[in-house]
């Protein structure tokens, strides 16, 4: 396909120039706005000045309700669904007799095929690559692997077993019935309290523990000591040697809720990232055996340095989470989220809300690090408030309590994404510990990366938005160059994501729509990339406002569109048409990051 063939045209939002615009002190403005060469520049109209062209506005609650009311309820008749027993029947084989009691689903493949919507594409990626597509006749790309009777062709003797569930059914039932054996983690957590309490008493014999200003604990934490406990005693409890990892000089793709899904991480692995991490999982949900939360702990085989991030407030709970992750999850390290700024999380003392809660934090880190033989790491911010940074105090403490590496996002919780990350402060904190430190904040090209490595003196750098906007940033860092990537190359990356999505979520109707949903979430970031070759003052920086410009090709124009209608058009190139009433509102408002 050439760059512009079969590229849907962009939805026009560009009005004629009204000629009202600034540009006297261009150079200093280039700090806040990203300038493109004159021939690509589209002057802003009055409309743009009032309403900058960003991702569509979040709807108000009323509008959302309205939207919900209006959407027609699509009733699916069970008789229109194909019985599961017929999804994967081999050519020549007799259709099996359905064993489901009173099954009302369709049992004639050919009849069902007549009602199936047209395929979403001509070729099934899964069949092409593995010689077999488990979604069989329900695959939305099935024509490439069905015979004339609708039987599912299989061209391989070695079908890769797909491990759908991360957690096995038995464990899930035990967790739900609260019958999982947590004796070990409960004992470790108790011993940690004994250690913490005896140390506090030794330091402060007269003072009542409850008066200990900031560190007042809820009563449940004041257990009776079992006897004196030392740090060595804790180490002895560990069930095996602590594993070591080499963190030096590695690039790290940040944990990213929703958008840091397995297919996206696989895309980044292909583009050169070293370390990947799952989306933040809530400890409580893991303990309740919730399948959707456990899905966040799944790793792709290409992820050869993979962590799982968890978030929680209570030591006994996090100790149990550690036991589960140690016993049941295939990952190389476990990361504690101590940076999440979302109010709901913060107010419960999780995420950035854990930062000032020194005693529970001590127990969480000590317990988890004792229980896990995999390294325990922690990701934090400068502090809660912009004028009261605390990370430099927290660093040596968490090192002493047992973390193997620390990531610092150089902003406070209060700051969210305003102002640049403070790399000097990252450098200052790094000097307070001997464990590897990863710096995080605003890196989007190899120059930013080099500057961060130098200023922060860190072992490596974590990237979040830069990787979402341009996942090839990892290649740029490896090769120490700016890549003026073409529209077609960018589209190829989008195609990879779609294929990986179909493989991960499935290539049937549900899988296709899931893949589309996550693709659209990602595309709500990618349009912010401004092609390197058209920049007046390259490279692009993360804090710069994106100008309104015309890309060099139709494809570049399409890929730069901030309109969700255009993202949907891009999705249709690989995932087939959407229904007429399809609508998309991104979960993360792109301009708030």
Q: Where along the sequence are the contacts to Zn ion (CB under 5 A)?
A: 83, 98, 100, 103, 105, 124, 127, 133, 139, 141, 507
Distance CA 349, CA 342 (A): 11
Give the tokens for residue 440: 């995080």
Nearest CA to 293 out of 305, 283, 304 is that of 283
Q: What is the distance between the alpha carbons of residues 65 and 261, in angstroms, rounded to a whole number? A: 28
Cβ proximity to ligand FMN, 354 vs 485, nearer residue:
354
Taking the least distance from each CB to Zn ion, the nearer of 144 and 215 is 144
State in angstroms the smallest separation of the CB of 593 from ligand FMN: 4
Q: For residue 267, what are the contacts with CB-CB under 8 A and spacing of at least 6?
A: 471, 493, 496, 497, 500
The least CB distance from residue 466 to ligand FMN, in Å, is 5
| Bond from prior residue into 426 cis (ω within 30 degrees of 0) | no
In the bound state with ligand FMN, the residue whose beta carbon lies nearer, of 278 and 316, is 278
Listed in order, strand segments (DSSP E) in 343-446 are: 376-383, 405-412, 437-440
CB of 521 to ligand FMN, least distance (A): 8
Provide the minimum distance between the beta carbon of 147 and ligand FMN in the complex, in angstroms, as a whole number.
Answer: 44
Instruction: Find the shortest distance in angstroms from Cβ 99 to Zn ion.
Output: 8
**C-beta of 262: minimal distance to ligand FMN in Å?**
14
- 3-state DSSP of 495-561: HHHHHHHHHHHCCCHHHHHHHHHHHHHHHHHHCCCCCHHHECCCCCCCCCECCCECCCCHHHHHHCC
Task: Closer to Zn ion by CB, 355 or 519: give it.
Answer: 519
Q: Using alpha carbons only, how large is the chain's radius of gyration in Å? A: 27
- Strand ranges (DSSP E) for 131-228? none
Chosen from ligand FMN, Zn ion, none, partner binding at 466 (C-beta under 5 to 8 Å by type): ligand FMN
- For residue 95, which of 84, 80, 81 has the smallest C-alpha distance? 84
Question: Which of 269, 270, 348, 344 lies closest to 313 in space, CA to CA?
Answer: 348
User: Which of Zn ion, ligand FMN, none does 100 bind, CB closer than 5 to 8 A by kind?
Assistant: Zn ion
Minimum distance, C-beta of residue 590 to ligand FMN, in the bound complex (Å):
9
List the single partner that 133 binds among Zn ion, ligand FMN, none, CB under 5 to 8 Å by kind. Answer: Zn ion
Instruction: Return the closest-CA partner of residue 429 out of 451, 452, 462, 406.
Output: 406
Return the number of the residue (399 or 442) whose C-beta is nearest ligand FMN: 442
Query: Given 124, 139, 192, 340, which residue is catalytic?
Result: 340
Under 8 Å CB-to-CB from 10, ≥6 apart: which residues? 554, 557, 558, 561, 563, 566
139 noted as active-site residue: no
Q: In the complex, what is the shortest distance from the CB of residue 279 to ligand FMN, in angstroms, rounded to a whole number?
A: 5
Q: Residue length, the chain?
A: 593
Contacts 24+ apart (CB under 8 A), 530-534: 530/34, 530/36, 530/560, 531/484, 531/485, 531/556, 532/482, 532/483, 532/484, 532/485, 533/484, 534/36, 534/37, 534/40
- Beta carbon nearer to Zn ion, 135 or 299: 135
Look at residue 124 and give the partner it binds from Zn ion, ligand FMN, none, a contact being a CB closer than 5 to 8 Å depending on partner kind.
Zn ion
Our CB check for ligand FMN shows the closer of 180 and 438 to be: 438
Nearest CA to 358 out of 324, 390, 328, 332 is that of 390
Residue 363 contact partner, candidates ligand FMN, Zn ion, none, CB within 5 to 8 A by sort of partner: none
Q: Which residues bind ligand FMN (CB under 6 A)?
A: 254-257, 259, 279-280, 309, 337, 339-340, 379, 409, 440-443, 463-466, 588, 593
Partner interacting with residue 256 (select from ligand FMN, Zn ion, none; CB below 5-8 Å by kind): ligand FMN
CA 265 – CA 249 distance, rounded (Å): 19
Choose between 133 and 253: whose C-beta lies nearer to Zn ion: 133
Residue 507: contacted member of Zn ion, ligand FMN, none (CB under 5 to 8 Å, by partner type): Zn ion
Which partner, Zn ion, ligand FMN, none, binds residue 441 by CB below 5 to 8 Å per kind? ligand FMN
Nearest by Cα to 504 from 299, 234, 358: 299
Question: Could you give the CA distance from residue 576 to residue 558 in angstroms, rounded to a whole number?
Answer: 17
**Residues forming the active site:** 340
């Amino acid at each position: 396909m050439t760059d512009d063939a079969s590229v849907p045209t962009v939805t026009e939002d560009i009005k004629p120039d009204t000629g009202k615009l600034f540009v006297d002190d261009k150079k200093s403005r280039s700090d806040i706005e990203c300038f493109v060469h004159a021939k690509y520049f589209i002057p802003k109209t009055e409309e743009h000045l009032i309403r900058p062209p960003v991702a569509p506005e979040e709807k108000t609650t009323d509008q959302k309700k309205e939207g919900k009311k209006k959407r027609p309820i699509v009733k699916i008749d069970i008789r229109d669904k194909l019985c599961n027993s017929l999804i994967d029947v081999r050519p020549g084989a007799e259709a099996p007799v359905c064993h489901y009691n009173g099954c009302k689903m369709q049992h004639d493949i050919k009849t069902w095929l007549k009602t199936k919507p047209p395929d979403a594409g001509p070729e099934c990626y899964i069949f092409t690559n593995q010689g077999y597509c488990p979604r069989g006749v329900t695959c939305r790309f099935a024509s490439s692997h069905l015979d004339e009777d609708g039987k599912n062709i299989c061209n391989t003797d070695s079908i890769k077993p797909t491990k759908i569930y991360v957690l096995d059914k038995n464990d899930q039932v035990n967790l739900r019935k609260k019958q999982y054996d947590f004796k070990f983690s409960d004992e470790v957590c108790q011993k940690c309290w004994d250690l913490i309490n005896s140390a506090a008493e030794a330091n402060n014999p007269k003072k009542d523990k409850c008066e200990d200003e900031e560190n007042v604990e809820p009563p449940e934490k004041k257990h009776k000591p079992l006897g004196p406990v030392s740090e060595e005693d804790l180490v002895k409890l560990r069930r095996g040697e602590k594993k070591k990892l080499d963190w030096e000089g590695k690039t790290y793709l940040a944990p990213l809720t929703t958008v840091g899904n397995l297919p996206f991480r696989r895309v980044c692995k292909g583009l050169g990232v070293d370390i990947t991490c799952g989306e933040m999982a809530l400890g409580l949900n893991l303990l309740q055996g919730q399948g959707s939360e456990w899905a966040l702990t799944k790793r792709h085989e290409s992820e050869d340095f993979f962590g799982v991030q968890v978030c929680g407030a209570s030591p006994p709970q996090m100790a149990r989470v550690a036991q589960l992750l140690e016993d049941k999850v295939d990952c190389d390290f476990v990361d504690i989220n101590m940076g999440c700024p979302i109010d709901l999380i913060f107010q419960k003392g999780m995420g950035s809300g854990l930062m000032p809660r020194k005693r529970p934090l001590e127990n969480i880190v000590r317990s988890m690090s004792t229980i896990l033989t995999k390294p325990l790491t922690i990701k934090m911010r400068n502090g809660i408030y912009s004028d009261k940074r605390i990370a430099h105090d927290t660093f040596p403490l968490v090192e002493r309590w047992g973390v193997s590496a620390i990531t610092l996002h150089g902003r406070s919780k209060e700051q969210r994404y305003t102002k640049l990350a403070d790399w000097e402060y990252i450098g200052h904190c790094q000097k307070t510990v001997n464990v590897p430190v990863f710096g995080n904040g605003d890196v989007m090209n190899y120059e930013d990366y080099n500057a961060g490595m130098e200023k922060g003196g860190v072992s490596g750098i974590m990237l979040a938005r830069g990787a979402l906007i341009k996942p090839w940033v990892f290649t740029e860092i490896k090769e120490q160059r700016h890549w003026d990537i073409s529209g077609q190359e960018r589209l190829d990356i989008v195609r990879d994501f779609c294929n990986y999505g179909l493989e991960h979520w499935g290539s049937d109707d549900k899988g296709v729509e899931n893949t589309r949903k996550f693709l659209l979430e990602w595309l709500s970031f990618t349009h912010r990339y401004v092609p390197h070759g058209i920049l007046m003052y390259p490279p692009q920086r993360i804090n710069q406002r994106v100008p309104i410009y015309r890309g060099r090709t139709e494809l570049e124009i399409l890929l730069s569109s901030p309109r969700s209608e255009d993202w949907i058009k891009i999705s249709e190139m690989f995932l087939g048409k959407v229904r007429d009433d399809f609508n998309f509102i991104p979960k993360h408002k792109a301009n708030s990051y």
